[in-house]
Amino acid sequence: MTDGEMPDQLLGGRYRLDERIAHGPLGEVWRAYDQQADWPVAVRTVEPGVDAVTRGRVTRRARTLAAVLHPNVVTVLDVGERYVVMEHLSGESLAEVGAPLPAEQARAILLQLVAGLDAAHRGGVVHGDLKPADVRKAGSGVFKITGFGLAGDGLPLPDELAAPESPYQAPEQRGGDTGRAADLYALGAIAFELLTGQPPAGRSAGSSAGVPSTGDRAVPADSGDLAGVPVELRRLVLALLAADPTARPSLAAVRQALAPHQDTAVLPQLGTGVHSGAGGTTPLSQTAIFDSEPADPVDRPDRRMLVQLGIALALIVVATAVFALWPRGGDGQEALPEPTPTAEVTPTETAEPTPTPTPTPTPSSTPATTPDSPVQQIPAQLQDGPPGGWGEFVGRLHEAVGIHEGRGEIDPRVADKAHRGFDKAIERLREGRTDKGVAELQKTAAELAKARDRGEVPPTGPLADLLDRFGLW
C-alpha cells in the first residue's frame, strides 16, 4: 500500500483504516476505526510480500500477547490473516515526556513498566527491543508497553528486520541473545534517561563522564551522572545496567526496591551476600542484593518470647481439638458408630408422638455449598455478565490496580497478588466456568478488602468504584 493510499474495503469487514502513523519492513501501522465496536483502534498490517514463515511468527506472537491482560500492556483485540488490531493509545510516549524527571515521578512511571513487563513475562512474552518510544500513555493516564515485534520471540531475526544498535540494547544482544534479562537492561536504560535526560550509552567510549568502553560498547561504570538521584534508586539503575545478564535483579526485586516509602536503612549493603547457583556459591554482584527481603533491623528478646508463647498456645489448641475429636474405643481399636435409635410408630397411633432423636449427620446430608465453599453465589449485578463482557471487566480491574500503582497508593505486593488473582479468574471464565471465575474474583476482592483495612489499598478511587459497583466487596 503506497503513501496516502486507502484500502478499498474494511479489514475483516469492520476495521476502517483512517491514517497511516508508522511503517516498517513488515508493514504499516494505522489509526483505524472499529465500526462494529464503535471506537478507535490501531491496526498493524502485514505486507503481501512477507513470506509465510514470518507471517506465522507475527500471528503467533500477536496471539500470545492477546492472552496478556494487564493495564500496563497494550491490549490485542483481534488477529487476522494479515493484520493485528490493538487498542489505540493517543497519549504521549516516554520519548516525549521531557526528561529529566523528578525522582518520584520517574519512580512512579518505572513501577508501571515493571508491572507490565512482569505480566508479559509471565504470559511468555519477551519484548526484546524496549525503548522509550514503545511506552505510551493511555486515555486513563497509565503508561502501557507497546511495540512488541519479533525481536523477543526467541528466533533469529531476518536481516531486513535487524534493529540498529541502540543504547537500550543489552550487551548480550549483540550476539543475538534476546531474553528476559535484556528487557531488564532496557528498563535500566530507560530509568537512566528519565533521571538524567539522556540514555546511558549516549556518549562515546572512554569519555570523561565515567562511561568507559566494555569491548566496543559503552556502558555506565559508576553513578557520576546520577549524583542527584536518591541512593537506593541510583543503586537500582546501575544494577539493571550490569553487563552480566545474570547479575541483574529480578522484576520482583525491582518492584520491591521501587516501592514507595522504602526504608533505605534496612537495605542490605552491595556485595555482602552470596548467590548459590549451579556452579556453587559465588559472591553477589552489586545487583543481586535486591533478590532478598530486608531483614528485621532489631531482633528483640521480648519479640522472641511472644513468638514462642504464641506457638505454645497454638500447640495447646491443636492438642485439645485432637483429643476432643479422637474416636473412643475400649480395646484400642477404632470404635464403630452406634446405630441411631428410632421411635416405634404404628399406623393407628393418634397419641402424642414419641420424640425422635436427632439423626446423626452423614456426608450425604451436608449441603452442597456452605458459606466457606470456594464457589460463592454470583452477585446480582454480574448474573448476566458485566457490560462489555468478562474480558473487558477483568481488564478494567487490572487497569484500576495499575492506576493506584502508578500513584504509589497501593502496596506493590498486594497489587501483584491482585493481578495474579484476576489472571486466574479470567482463566476460569474463559473455560466457561463462570461460578469458579466469580469465586476467584470474590476471593481476590476479599483479600483487597483486608489490605484496605490495613491501609495498603486506598478506600476510594477506580478500584473501589468497580468492586463496590458490582458487589465484590
> Left if phi > 0, otherwise alpha if psi is -120 to 50, otherwise beta: which for 315?
alpha
Packed helices 251-258 and 103-122: angle between N→C axes, nearest 10 degrees: 150
C-alpha 161/C-alpha 332 separation (Å) is 78
For residue 10, which of 37, 27, 23 has the smallest C-alpha distance?
37
Q: What is the C-alpha separation between 75 and 132, in angstroms, rounded? A: 18
Nearest to 268 by CA among 241, 243, 239: 239
Per the CB < 8 A criterion, the answer to whether 356 and 342 are in contact is: yes
474494511: which residue's cell?
A: 10
One-letter identity of residue 285: S
Alpha-carbon distance of 320 to 324, in angstroms, equals 6
Cell numbers of 217, please? 560498547
Nearest to 452 by CA among 427, 403, 402, 415: 415
- Considering 34, 78, 118, 129, which one is annotated as catalytic? 129
What string of DSSP letters covers 34-90?
ETTTTEEEEEEE--TTS-HHHHHHHHHHHHHHHT---TTBPPEEEE-SSEEEEE---
Integer Cα distance of 115 and 252 in angstroms: 9
Rounded CA-CA distance 105/260 in Å is 11
Q: How far apart are CA 79 and CA 138, in angstroms?
A: 21
N-term to C-term CA, the chain: 52
Residue-wise over 397-418: b if at least 16 C-beta within 10 A, else e? bbbbbbbbbbebbbbbebbbbb
Amino acid type, 387:
P
Is 129 catalytic? The answer is: yes
Rounded-to-integer distance, Cα 332 and Cα 329, Å:
5
**Which amino acid, 90?**
S
CA distance 129 to 456: 34
The strand pairing partners of 23, in sequence order, are 28
Exposure b/e, 172-189, CB count within 10 A at least 16 = b: bbeeeebbbbbbbbbbbb
Cis previous bond, 100, omega within 30: yes
Spell 84-109 as b/e; 16+ CB within 10 A means b.
Answer: bbbbbbeeebbeebebbbebeebbbb
**Active-site annotation, residues:** 129
